[in-house]
Structure 1
Amino acid sequence: MGRFFALVLGIAALTVPWRDAEAQKSWNAFRWEKDKKHVALFNGDQVIWQFNFDPKEDKPYFHPLRTPAGLDMTLERPADHPWHRGLWFSWKDINGVNYWEEDPAKGVSSGRSLIKAVKTTLDKHTQTANIAMRLVYADSANTVLNEKREVVVSQPENGGYTVSWYHEFEAVTDVRLYLEKPAKYGGVEWGGYAGLSFRGSDQLKQPTFVASSGWSTQADLTGYGEKERWMGITALNNGKPVALVIFDHPDNERHPSPWYIWHAAGHNLFFTPSLLFDGPLALKKGEKLRLKYRVWVTDGEVDADAIEAQYRVFAQE
C-alpha cells in the first residue's frame, strides 16, 4: 500500500543526550519479531515496543511501549478500564453506536473497528518500521467508515524515538462522530475523550503534564479542554526521568486540538488530543478526514525547547 499523504519516509528523531550508559553498551542487540498478530522490536531479550493487531480484538495498539533504556510507559487493559490499550486510536461514538467501551466478555465494542489488512516493512539496519493498515468501522448492520492508516516508528537513537500516525477516513454513509459532552459544556464530569489515546504505566511516578502554551500541572484533573499544539508527561520510572509527548499536526481538522486528561495520583494517567471535545464532526458520504499525529518517547529530562524542536520537525511535513 502506497503512501496517501505527502510524507517523508526518513524520520530523524531529535533527542536528548543519552542518559543510561548500561543501555548504551547493549545497543547492538536489536532484532525483529513478527507474526500474524503483532510486530515487535527487541533489544536483546527485552521488547522496546510491540504493535498488536489481532483481528479478533479490533483496535490496533502499542503495548508494551518502552523507552530505549527499557522503561515501561504504557498500561494494557487495566481493571478500571479494560478497553484502555496502552497507546491506541479509537472513536467514541459513530452515528449513535459506541466504538470505545467494550463488552468485558467479548473484548470488543458494539461498534467494530475491524482490521482488514496489515502490511509491515521492517528495516533491520535502522530499526525503522512502517505499518500500513486498512480498517473498517461497522455497526451491527452496515459499514459506516473506511480507514487507511500508516504507523511509522523511527530508529531509536540518542535516547528516544517517534511513533507517527497517519489516518485517512472515508465516510461510506453520512457520518456523525461524537463523544459524551464534557463538563465544560454542561455534560458529564468524565466526558470529552476520543481519538489517539495514551494510558500510562503504573511505574510512572510524580508525573507532570506539560503543554505548548506553557501550562503544566501535577494535580489531579479530569477534563482540561484547552487547545494546545502538543501535550506530554514527564515522570520518573524506577527513579529515572522519562517523557512521552503527543504532537497535533497543523494540517489537522480543528488544530490546535483541545486535550482531555484523566489523572488521579497513584491511580491513573490518561490523555488524548480530543478532536471532538468542542463538538461533533459530520462527514457526508464520500467525504474524507485526514489526521496526523506524532508521539515522542524518550529517556532523560526534557524541557519545552526540546519538545518544541521535535514539534517543528513534524509540523513541516
Structure 2
Amino acid sequence: MHDRPAPLILTGRTVAEYHWRPHLPAALSPRPYLHPVRTLGGTTVTEATPPDHPHHLGASLAIPDAGGTNFWGGRTYVRGKGPQPLPNHGTQTHHRWHTRTHTRLEHELHWTAPDGTLLLHEHRRITAHPIDQHAWALDFHYTLRNTTDRPLTISSPGAKGRTGAGYGGFFWRAPTTPATVHGPHATGTTRLHGATAPWLALTTSGDTPWTLILTDTAAHRDPWFVRARDYNGAGPALAWTTPLTAAPGHGPQRRIIAVIADGALTTRAIQGLADTVATSPAPREA
C-alpha cells in the first residue's frame, strides 16, 4: 500500500519504521511516529500505544497544547481542575514529500484543530547514519510555523501550574524495563528531570541491554523531561514552566540527535558518542 510505514535501513538492516500516515483514534492525537526503532543488533528501543499511556507513540513530535488544541493525546490539563477528557484533539497530517529514501525522510505536515483549522505548518527531516558497528544515529529536525493571523501559544501542564509536567516537543517512549538515567554530571531522574544539559541517556541491563542517548543541539537548551520508574520516556521540553508564543509565520525550530546503541554503555562512552554527533553538520536541505 502507498501509506505503508517508510523504513530506515542501515547496512541491510531495518533500524526504524516511520508511520507517516497512521490510522489512529482521535483521542490519541494522530501523528506520524517512529516504531519500532531498533539497535543494529535488532533490539527494539521504542514502545507504542502502551496500556498505561496509549497516546505515547514511539518517537514522535507531540505538544499538549497549541492554541488550545491537544497534539499530545489523552486528557488535557486544565489549571485548577487537573487532567480533563476534552474533545480538543488535533491531527498532524502528511502534506508533501521532499525526500523519501532508506536513510532520509523529509516532508511537510499540517497541524489541524478538530474543526479543520490549520494552525501550524511543519517541515520535518529525519535521517539515519551509522556511527560504528554497535551504534547508529537518528537525526530529527523540525521547523514549525504558525499559519494563523494571530500569536499562537504553545503550552504544557507544567506551564499551567502542574509541577514537573512541562513535557511537550520531541518525545521518546522507550520499553518499560529497568533503566538508569545518565547526564553529563549527574545520574538519576531526581537530578536530571527539569535539568538543562547537552545530552541525556537511558541504559538498561539484562539479556539484550541497550543505550539510548538524546542530544539537544540548540544553543539555548530546553529542560529535559524524563521518566524511568512507572515508564521510560524522555525528551526536551518546549514549554517547561513558561508558554512559548509563536508570532504569525514563525515558530520553534529544533534538532535532536538520538544515538541508539547495543549494550549498557558507561558514562564515558556515552559522552564520547554524544560529542561525536553533537559536532556533526546538519544534513543539507533536499
Confirm or deny: 8 A CA contact 2:8 2:104 kept in the other structure.
no
SS in 1 for 2:271: helix
For residues 75-101 of structure 1, the C-alpha deviation after alignment (integer angstroms, 9 at most, x for no partner) is: 110111111011111111011221111
**Partner AA of 1:149 in structure 2:** R
| Structure 2 counterpart of 1:215, one-letter code | A
The residue that corresponds to 2:79 in the other structure is none
Which of 28, 34, 50 matches 1:62?
34
Q: 1:76 aligns with which of 48, 51, 65?
A: 48
The alignment status of 1:297 with 2:268, answered yes or no, reads no
Contact 2:222 2:237 in 1 (8 A): yes
Match of 2:64 in 1: 92
**Structure 2, unaligned runs of 5 or more:** 25-29, 76-86, 282-286
Match in the other structure for 1:148: 123
Question: Quick one: distance in 1 between partners of 2:271 and 2:124?
Answer: 26
Query: Residue 149 and residue 158 in structure 1: after superposition, are their counterparts in 2 closer, same or farther (change >3 A)?
Result: same
Which ranges in structure 1 are unaligned for 5 or more consecutive residues? Answer: 1-33, 124-128
Would you say 1:158 and 2:133 are equivalent positions? Answer: yes
Q: 1:8 is matched with which residue?
A: none
Letter in 2 for 1:89: L
Deviation at residue 110 of structure 1 after TM alignment: 1.3
Q: 1:240 aligns with which of 194, 199, 208?
A: 208
Contact 1:47 / 1:64 at 8 angstroms: preserved in 2? no
- In structure 2, the residue matched to 1:37 is 4
**Match of 1:309, SS?**
helix
**1 CA distance for matches of 2:197 and 2:9?**
33
2:218 matched residue in structure 1? 250
Distance of 2:11 and 2:272 partners within structure 1: 31
In the alignment, is residue 306 of structure 1 matched against residue 277 of structure 2?
Answer: no
Q: Compute the displacement of 1:189 (Å).
A: 5.0
Which amino acid in structure 1 is aligned with residue 96 of structure 2?
A
Q: Provide the C-alpha distance between the structure 2 equivalents of 1:89 and 1:156, rounded to a whole number of angstroms.
A: 24
1:249 partner letter: T
User: Partners of 1:43 and 1:164 in 2: how far apart?
Assistant: 14
Give the counterpart letter for 1:259 in structure 2: W
Which residue of 284, 290, 295 maps to 2:247? 284
Amino acid at match of 1:91: I
Question: Which residue does the alignment assign to 2:97?
Answer: 118
Are 1:259 and 2:224 counterparts? Answer: yes
Q: 2:169 aligns with which of 195, 209, 224?
A: 195
Three-state SS of the structure 1 residue aligned to 2:195 is strand
* Amino acid corresponding to residue 243 of structure 1 in structure 2: T
Cα shift readout 1:288-309 (whole Å, capped 9, x = no counterpart): 4321110000012323333333
Deviations 1:24-72 (A, max 9, x none): xxxxxxxxxx952312257999853211112544321111111111112
Q: What is the letter of the counterpart of residue 179 of structure 1?
A: S
1:126-174 per-position Cα deviation (integer Å, ceiling 9, x unaligned): xxx1001111112124211111000001137411111001111111122
Distance in 2 between the 1:152 and 1:99 partners? 23
Q: CA deviation at 1:314?
A: 3.5
Percentage of matched positions with identical amino acids? 20
Q: Which moved more, 1:62-71 or 1:187-196?
A: 187-196
Distance across 2 between alignment mates of 1:157 and 1:187: 44
CA contact (8 A) 2:180 2:228 kept: no
In the alignment, is the contact (CA less than 8 A) between 1:211 and 1:232 conserved in 2? Answer: yes
- Structure-2 residue corresponding to 1:171: 146
Inter-partner Cα distance in structure 2 for 1:244 and 1:132: 23
Contact kept, 8 Å, 2:68 with 2:88, in 1: the verdict is no
1:90 and 1:100 in contact (8 A); partners too = yes
For 1:42 and 1:285, how far apart are their aligned partners in 2? Answer: 38
Deviant stretches of 4+, over 4 Å: 41-47
Task: Give distance in 2, aligned partners of 1:67 and 1:233.
Answer: 14
| TM-score normalised by L of structure 2 | 0.81
- Superposed CA RMSD in Å reads 2.8
